[in-house]
Structures are given as structure tokens and as C-alpha cells.
């Protein structure tokens, strides 16, 4: 060091020209980088112009309005506290204490498990549960407990006032201290209960599908419209922001003419095939079988149709009045109560497509399938393909379902200029033979084999040109949980929209017309399968007619 100092001091600065150049030797390197960065920015700008071409605006789910903390309290009743009923009441803010226990324990073991935190942070909807109805005692008792779980606590409580249990849904509907009902009974009861609730002046949240028989479908629409109650239909996909985004992409005509849509159901476990566990406490004394059988008028409509078209082999086979635990817990496997794959699962897919494209009721439906894997005595098929034609839109929608493979197939919208796939993320890819983008493809600005738009749910600002990283995370659903905004359960948002409309007026996003279109479409698919021929929709007469 001292030697260096000496050197430096001995050197007169004026004679250090050579040294001065040495000290600045790296400045040309900076120049090179500046040039490189300039060229790179120019290149990126050309890519960004492409982004502008596909610029998307922010979307907000229909339920995005702020919840007024001092909103009028709404007194809720729930009919049906099975699998879906539990989920709905939980989304409304009344979880089973045992579920809270599980979530708390999971969060303790794994700090990344935020289900409990997310749940507690959900804004309260200012609801109270004043009545519950289930025809199975164990479920009814569980509903009472959840309804009293006003503090969203585990088994230790403290709990609030327990709701009243009603053994007959009509008694619940007659109660003065109930403003609104959630209906989550089996499919064969949906329409009847919805009509009775509307007639009793209760606001209705109805689980899908809307109806079990075709004749009741028209009646439900009329009754709901005449009653003026606030009706929300249970397709919570209406709140999914990637669907809203997809709608925007369609509106901006980024895909060009869409000629084919493919939607699917892929499940591969007994639970997914409706083989639900049979509860140990279930027996003829804890289950009101008479009420389970259904509404007489509905049953007549069902039998009339089946008999008139030679479909008696699909009825039963056990007599309806015969107590049967399998039929009680696994009712989706028998047409006597079920609407099959069409009503249970196609409806979600169809409603998503109807939300995105506004297709309405199809012109025709053709189905095929069978009971190919779960040969457990069911009458409802476990493999089903239905093709729906929309000639006025120059469009086919293909529904393809199996309950014996869960190979993931997203919703695919195939356009002449680009295709869009909706799964956990949304990906748009330009078609190599696109007319609209031909010149950009030729210039190399658009690469047809790479995703042009990748939308990651929850991300507010969407740039059309996304990175591989974002795509990676999107496909694994990781970013969704950690974006600055909160992560919401769509069922919660769907109930919240309904509640807000009850308080402040307005029509929920999944209204009675959407429900009617859903139900008719599902019935067309089902009838096409049962009768083995194409079903058509007569738009003017509003009737399903045979080919």
C-alpha cells in the first residue's frame, strides 16, 4: 500500500495521460451495453405493439361491489344439507365446526395452507341462519350446528343461536323469520321447491340443474318471474374471472369465427361417479323416505314421459316406495331422481359457454354413451358425448364426458384465427393458417406455436404477451393464491351477489332466463340419449321436438 501511495505521489498527474485512459478503459463497454439495450428495447417495442393489438381491459366479477357492513341482516333458510348444501352454507359464512378444526390443524402443520385464514378474512355477508331442513336426522343436526356457528369457530365454539329445524320444507317456507332460502336438495326436488319458495315470497338461491322434468321447466320460469323474488341460479362460474376475460376475448373477436367448442368432464374416482359413502346412522327411522320419493305431480310428469316413449327400462328398477340407502345417498345414479351427466356436469360447462358466447338454447342435440365402467346397477350413463348444433352461429359445441379417466381436457374454443383454452389458466394461440394474422405470422411477429395471451387468474394487469414463467405458475394455480388481491371462493362470491341484489335490488348474473336455457339444453341432451335420436328446439313454440 505504502509503495502504491509513493508511486501515486511521485507521478505528476499531468503526465498520467496514459493512466487516465487506463482508468476509463471500461467506458466503451458501457457504450456497447447502451447500444445493446437500445436495440433490445426496439425489439421489445415491436413485440409490445403486438400486445396492444390484443390489449385487454380489467374485468370485475358481478359480485365485485363492496359489501356494506351495515346492510340489512338477511335471515336464511337452507333446504338440503348434503354435500353441496354443506358447501353452500359454508360459503355463506356458516362452516361446520369440524371443517374449521381441520383447516386450523392444516394451517398449524403447513404455513402455506391458508384455507382457514382465507375463510376468516372473507367479508361477512350479515346473514343469519334461522331455519334448516333435511330429511336425514344426522344431516339436519349438522345443519343446526353449522347454522349456529356465527363466529366461524371450531368444535370449541362459542356458538350463536341455533336455527330451527323443520322436518318438511313447506313448513320452513311458511316461517315468518326467513327471508331467503338456499335450495340444495336432490335434482328431482329442485323445481318444486323453487316454485314453492317463490310463491311463499322467499328469495331463492337454487342449485343446478334447474329442473328434473321438462314440463316443470316452463312453470318454474313463470313462477319465478311472476313472484318478483331475487333468484340466483347456482352456477358460480359466473364469478370466475378467467370466464369474464374469455368473454372479452370473444367480444374483441381475437379468435375470429369460432366453429367448434369442446367441453369435457373427466373424473376417475367413485366419489366423482356419485358413489358416495353411506352414513352409518342412516336407516328408515332417521330418514323420511316418503318425502325423499318426490313431488307427486313431478313423478307423474317423469313417468308419463318415460312410458310414452318406451323408456320404461330406465325407470326403477326398484320400486320408488322401497327404502334403499344406496338410492338415498347415491341418487344421482338413477333417473328416478337424477338428471345424469347432462344435468349434473354438462350444465356447468354449458353455462360457462353461454356466459362467454351467449349461445342460448341450441338448435339440436345428439347424444351417445352408456354405463361402461360403473356397472353397479345404475341407470344413468357414466360415459356420454353430446353434440349441440347452433347453425345460426355456425357453431358446434361438443360435450364429452367420462367418469373413468381424469385426463385433463380444458374448454377449447376453436376459431379460424386463434384458439382459446380455458383450464386453470386461459391461453390463446394463433392458428398457423389464420387469415387475419397472416402478415404478422409471415413477418415473424406472431409465432403460432407459442401462447399469444396467457391469463393468470387474479392478475389485474394483463399483458397479452406473457412469459413462460407466468404460464408455468398459472398452470399450477400458484400465483392465484398469492397475488396482491385476495383470493375468493367463487361460491362465496355467487351467494354474495345474490345477497347484495336482495338488499339493493338488481338481477343476479345467473338469472331465471339463464337457468331456463341451461335446463332446456340439458334436457335436450338427456332426451337425445334416452330416445337415441336427435332432439330439436322449436324456438317459436318453445318446445323440444323430435327428429
Among residues 336, 351, 421, 470, the one that binds another protein under rule CB under 8 A = 470
Instruction: Please enumerate in sequence order all residues whose Cβ is within 8 A of that of 193, keeping only pairs 6 or more positions apart, or say none.
Output: 79, 169, 183, 185, 206
Q: Which is nearer to another protein, 44 or 105 (CB)?
A: 44
> How many helices (H) does the chain have, and how many strands (E)?
21, 16
Instruction: Please enumerate in sequence order all residues whose Cβ is within 8 A of that of 444, keeping only pairs 6 or more positions apart, or say none.
Output: none
Nearest-approach distance from CB 112 to another protein, in angstroms:
7
Residue 91 contacts residue 489 (beta carbons within 8 Å):
yes
Residue 227 contacts residue 361 (beta carbons within 8 Å):
no
Nearest-approach distance from CB 467 to another protein, in angstroms:
9
Helices (H), 200-284: 214-227, 241-251
Q: Does 484 bind another protein (CB under 8 A)?
A: yes
User: CA 475: distance to chain centroid?
Assistant: 17
Instruction: Please enumerate in sequence order all residues whose Cβ is within 8 A of that of 523, keeping only pairs 6 or more positions apart, or say none.
Output: 211, 214, 217, 342, 544
Please identify, among the stretches 75-83, 86-94, 196-204, 474-482, the one whose residues bind another protein according to the rule CB under 8 A: 474-482
Q: Does 109 bind another protein (CB under 8 A)?
A: no
Among residues 14, 42, 60, 111, the one that binds another protein under rule CB under 8 A = 111
The DSSP-derived string for 408-459 is: ---EEEEESSEEEEESSSEEEEE-TT-STTHHHHHHTSS-TTS-SEEE-TT-
Q: Which is nearer to another protein, 41 or 151 (CB)?
A: 41
Nearest-approach distance from CB 472 to another protein, in angstroms:
6
Q: How many chain residues bind another protein (CB under 8 A)?
A: 32
Nearest-approach distance from CB 20 to another protein, in angstroms:
9
Nearest-approach distance from CB 16 to another protein, in angstroms:
9
103: exposed, middle or buried (Cβ count in 10 Å: 0-12, 13-18, 19+): buried
What does the alpha-carbon distance between residue 517 and residue 543 come to, in Å, rounded to a whole number? 12
Considering only residues 213-272, where is the footprint of another protein by CB under 8 A? none
Among residues 52, 60, 112, 308, the one that binds another protein under rule CB under 8 A = 112
Q: Does 37 bind another protein (CB under 8 A)?
A: yes
Q: Does 54 bind another protein (CB under 8 A)?
A: no
Select from 80, 56, 61, 66 the least CA-distant residue to 235: 61
Q: Which is nearer to another protein, 485 or 505 (CB)?
A: 485
Please identify, among the stretches 25-33, 56-64, 123-131, 321-329, the one whose residues bind another protein according to the rule CB under 8 A: 25-33
Considering only residues 5-24, where is the footprint of another protein by CB under 8 A? 5, 8, 19, 22-24
Residues in touch with another protein (CB under 8 A)? 1, 3-5, 8, 19, 22-27, 29-30, 33, 36-37, 41, 111-112, 461, 463, 468-470, 472-473, 476, 478-479, 482, 484
Amino acid at each position: 500500500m505504502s509503495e502504491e501511495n509513493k508511486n501515486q505521489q511521485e507521478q505528476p498527474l499531468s503526465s498520467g495521460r496514459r493512466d487516465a485512459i487506463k482508468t476509463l478503459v471500461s467506458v466503451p463497454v458501457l457504450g456497447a451495453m447502451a447500444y445493446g439495450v437500445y436495440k433490445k428495447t426496439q425489439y421489445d417495442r415491436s413485440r409490445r405493439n403486438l400486445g396492444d393489438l390484443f390489449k385487454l381491459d380489467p374485468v370485475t366479477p358481478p359480485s365485485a361491489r363492496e359489501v356494506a357492513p351495515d346492510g340489512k341482516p338477511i335471515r336464511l333458510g337452507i333446504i338440503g344439507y348434503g354435500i353441496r348444501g354443506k358447501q353452500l352454507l359454508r360459503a355463506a359464512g356458516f362452516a361446520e365446526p369440524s371443517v374449521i378444526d381441520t383447516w386450523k390443524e392444516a394451517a398449524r402443520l403447513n404455513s402455506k395452507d391458508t384455507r382457514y385464514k382465507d375463510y376468516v378474512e372473507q367479508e361477512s355477508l350479515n346473514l343469519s341462519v334461522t331455519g334448516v331442513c333435511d330429511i336425514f336426522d344426522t344431516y339436519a343436526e349438522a345443519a343446526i350446528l353449522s347454522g349456529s356457528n356465527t363466529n366461524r369457530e371450531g368444535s370449541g365454539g362459542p356458538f350463536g343461536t341455533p336455527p330451527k329445524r323443520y322436518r318438511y320444507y313447506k313448513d320452513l317456507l311458511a316461517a315468518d323469520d326467513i327471508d331467503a332460502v338456499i335450495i340444495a336438495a336432490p335434482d328431482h326436488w329442485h323445481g318444486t321447491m323453487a316454485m314453492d319458495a317463490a310463491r311463499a315470497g322467499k328469495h331463492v338461491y337454487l342449485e343446478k340443474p334447474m329442473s328434473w322434468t321438462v314440463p316443470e321447466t316452463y312453470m318454474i320460469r313463470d313462477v319465478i318471474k311472476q313472484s318478483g323474488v331475487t333468484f340466483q341460479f347456482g352456477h358460480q362460474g359466473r364469478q370466475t374471472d378467467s370466464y369474464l376475460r374469455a368473454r372479452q376475448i370473444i367480444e374483441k373477436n381475437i379468435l375470429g369465427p369460432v366453429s367448434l367448442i369442446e367441453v369435457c368432464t373427466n373424473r376417475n374416482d367413485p366419489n366423482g361417479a356419485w358413489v358416495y359413502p353411506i352414513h352409518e346412522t342412516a336407516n328408515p327411522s332417521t330418514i323420511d323416505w316418503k318425502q325423499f320419493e318426490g313431488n307427486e305431480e313431478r313423478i307423474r310428469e317423469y313417468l308419463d314421459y318415460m312410458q310414452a316413449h318406451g323408456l320404461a327400462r330406465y325407470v326403477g328398477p326398484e320400486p320408488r316406495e322401497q327404502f334403499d340407502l344406496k338410492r338415498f345417498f347415491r341418487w344421482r345414479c338413477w333417473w328416478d331422481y337424477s338428471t345424469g351427466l347432462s344435468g349434473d356436469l354438462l350444465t356447468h360447462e354449458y353455462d360457462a359457454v353461454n356466459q362467454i358466447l351467449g349461445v342460448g338454447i341450441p338448435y339440436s342435440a345428439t347424444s351417445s354413451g352408456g354405463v361402461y365402467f360403473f356397472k353397479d346397477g345404475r341407470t344413468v350413463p357414466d360415459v356420454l358425448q353430446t353434440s349441440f348444433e347452433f347453425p345460426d352461429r355456425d357453431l358446434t359445441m361438443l360435450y364429452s364426458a367420462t367418469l373413468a379417466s381424469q385426463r385433463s381436457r380444458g374448454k377449447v374454443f376453436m376459431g379460424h384465427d386463434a384458439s382459446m383454452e380455458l383450464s386453470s389458466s386461459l391461453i390463446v394461440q394463433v392458428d398457423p393458417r389464420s387469415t387475419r394474422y397472416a402478415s404478422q405470422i409471415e413477418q415473424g411477429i406472431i409465432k403460432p406455436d407459442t401462447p399469444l395471451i396467457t391469463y393468470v387468474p387474479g392478475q389485474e394487469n394483463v399483458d397479452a404477451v406473457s412469459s413462460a414463467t407466468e404460464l408455468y405458475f398459472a398452470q399450477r394455480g400458484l400465483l392465484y393464491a398469492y397475488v396482491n388481491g385476495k383470493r375468493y371462493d367463487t361460491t362465496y362470491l355467487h351467494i354474495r351477489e345474490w345477497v347484495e341484489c336482495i338488499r339493493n335490488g338488481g338481477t343476479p348474473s345467473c338469472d331465471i332466463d339463464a337457468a331456463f336455457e341451461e335446463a332446456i339444453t340439458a334436457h335436450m341432451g338427456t332426451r337425445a340419449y334416452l330416445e337415441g335420436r336427435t332432439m330439436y328446439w322449436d324456438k317459436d313454440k318453445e318446445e323440444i321436438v323430435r327428429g
